[in-house]
Structure 1
Amino acid sequence: MIALMQRELRALLGSPLFWGTAAIAQLILGWWFLSLVDRFRDHYQGLLTRTDSALGVTDLVVQPYFGSFVLLVLLILVVSVLAMGALADERRSGSLPLLLSAPINSGAIVLGKYLGRLLPLTLIIALWSVMPVSLRLFTDVDPGVLAAAVLGLWLMGAALLAVGVFLSTLTAQPGLAAANTFGFALLLMLVGQGTGLEAGDAVLTGIGLVTHYEPLVTGRVGTDALAYFGLLLVGSLLFATRRVDALRLS
């Protein structure tokens, strides 16, 4: 499993598609972060001082940054690019039978593929988090809210990556696997938004990503959010393992 993880890691770090996507995402988020900082400095800072408001950079820069649609869509895009070749590329290139003949079980194959992609994703999320963390050099930022928001972003990315690995086992076309991952993750992000708590809407709200991510952005780390992302991650990897078992038998 370790050897497979290292192989996947080397392949991704040598991929122009990975670095190109990471660079574009970093540029977009850099622009978005600076626009939030400029808006705070030009429109909010003087008003907050005059009104002696308790709001600050944490409320008006850090939380809007981590809770923005821009960040979440870019996370889905990066996850889709990372997951697209997990098993689909093996099937397309014809190397899957060789991989399945290796003396490791299906769970180790799936876990090696997943961990080899989780490390680059963690690197990207760390780079995205450097910008709001850098505010602590110049002003007061709530470290608890900042840590919870970074944790929430990583948990969401890790869970969606597991979903992407599973979806990659269903097709031999990496592009289709990426499209399926992006579409399914976007659906999970949008489901339950704009609904109330009547007539079954609570069910839709409960399965939506944003419902469990938003409390983390505000600094509230609850067991329901941890359980949601944990179940999504583990369940997806288990489904992927069963799918690899089926491919091995066929």
Structure 2
Amino acid sequence: MIRAVAGRELRALFLSPLAWSLLGVAMVILAWLFLVQIESFMQLQPQLVAGASELGVTDLVVAPLFDSGAMVLLLLTPLLTMRLLSEEQRSGTIRLLFSAPISTAQIVLGKYLAMLGVFGLLLLLIALLPLSLLLGGTPDLGRLAATLLGMGLLLACYSAIGLFLSSLTEQPAVAAISSYGLLLFLWIVNLSGSDDRSGLFEWLSLTSHYRPFLDGVVRSGDLAYFLLLIIASLLMAIHHLESRRRGG
């Protein structure tokens, strides 16, 4: 049943111009950023060779691309996730799902799986940008793999949070604004001062757990952070939807 819900959601997404538009906008922006980074690298290359610098194309092109891409996708993700459950509640079609022989967990997981499918396609397209460097350069493939893993976890986290907030309201616009607010807060929370609470804020920050992947560092603590945030968001979405289901 999860696959049936995911298939239904994927068809709805790709029959709508919204998903195609957002994917197109994301790729245009990221391709432009990629070309800008390549141009900067080409200008710096003589200085790097003369100075025997250890910095290479992975440091100066790939890492900045995925660093900027994380913020670009933070801005686009809520527009995709805002309708997942809020539109169902607003239009009343959620009652049809509740009356079907399908659990609340299957509804939530099916919709989440559909979002992972969309972002899996996007991540594949993004991966083609740095892989194109193999035609004329030698990017660090191990570090690229870690970077793609980090981006995949980040997008999965964005999706789970957006899905949860979509379950809280019948208004897609409210769901999108709430997602923007929470994701941006998690992105910048580590910018607080250096008081006793800074350690907690550093741990809460998406940035603190994402950027090590850009350096090719895969830490169990960062993996656990993303998985915990994803699972917690999905469980809260299931709990809220189950409460609504029982309340009629």
By the TM > 0.5 criterion, same fold?
A: yes
User: Which moves more between the two structures, 165-174 or 120-129?
Assistant: 120-129
- In structure 1, the residue matched to 2:45 is 45
Question: 1:11 corresponds to which letter in structure 2?
Answer: A
> How much does 1:194 deviate?
5.7
- In structure 1, the residue matched to 2:4 is 3
Instruction: Choose which of 228, 234, 238 in structure 1 pairs with 2:235.
Output: 238
Q: Which runs of 4+ in 1 moved over 6 A?
A: none
- In structure 2, the residue matched to 1:188 is 186
Instruction: Choose which of 172, 175, 183 in structure 2 pairs with 1:174.
Output: 172
CA–CA separation in structure 1 for the residues paired with 2:32 and 2:237: 37
The alignment partner of 1:191 has SS state of helix
The alignment partner of 2:190 has SS state of coil
User: Which moves more between the two structures, 182-191 or 208-217?
Assistant: 182-191
Deviations 1:214-247 (A, max 9, x none): 1111000000110000000011000011011111
CA–CA separation in structure 2 for the residues paired with 1:115 and 1:47: 47
CA–CA separation in structure 2 for the residues paired with 1:121 and 1:147: 16
Question: 2:197 corresponds to which letter in structure 1?
Answer: G
- The root-mean-square deviation of aligned C-alpha atoms, in Å, is 1.1
- In structure 1, the residue matched to 2:211 is 214
CA–CA separation in structure 2 for the residues paired with 1:29 and 1:116: 23
> How much does 1:94 deviate?
1.1
Instruction: Choose which of 220, 224, 229 in structure 1 pairs with 2:226.
Output: 229
* 1:115 lines up with 2:113 in the alignment: yes
CA–CA separation in structure 2 for the residues paired with 1:93 and 1:149: 39
Instruction: Name the % identity.
Output: 41
CA–CA separation in structure 2 for the residues paired with 1:158 and 1:193: 23
Residues 189 and 205 in structure 2, CA contact (< 8 A), matched pair in contact too: yes
Query: Within 5 A, what are the aligned runs for 1:1-250?
Result: 1-42=2-43, 44-68=44-68, 71-193=69-191, 195-196=193-194, 198-250=195-247
> How much does 1:48 deviate?
1.0
> How much does 1:75 deviate?
1.1
CA–CA separation in structure 2 for the residues paired with 1:100 and 1:213: 37
Question: 1:167 corresponds to which letter in structure 2?
Answer: L
- CA distance change for structure 1 residues 195 and 61 in 2, over 3 Å: closer, same or farther? farther
Question: 1:136 corresponds to which letter in structure 2?
Answer: L
Deviations 1:129-183 (A, max 9, x none): 2111211221111111101011101101101101111100100011211111122
- CA distance change for structure 1 residues 193 and 125 in 2, over 3 Å: closer, same or farther? farther
Question: How many residues are paired up?
Answer: 246
Question: 2:55 corresponds to which letter in structure 1?
Answer: L
The alignment partner of 2:168 has SS state of coil
> How much does 1:92 deviate?
1.0
> How much does 1:195 deviate?
4.1
Residues 192 and 201 in structure 2, CA contact (< 8 A), matched pair in contact too: no
CA–CA separation in structure 1 for the residues paired with 2:129 and 2:140: 14
The alignment partner of 1:192 has SS state of helix
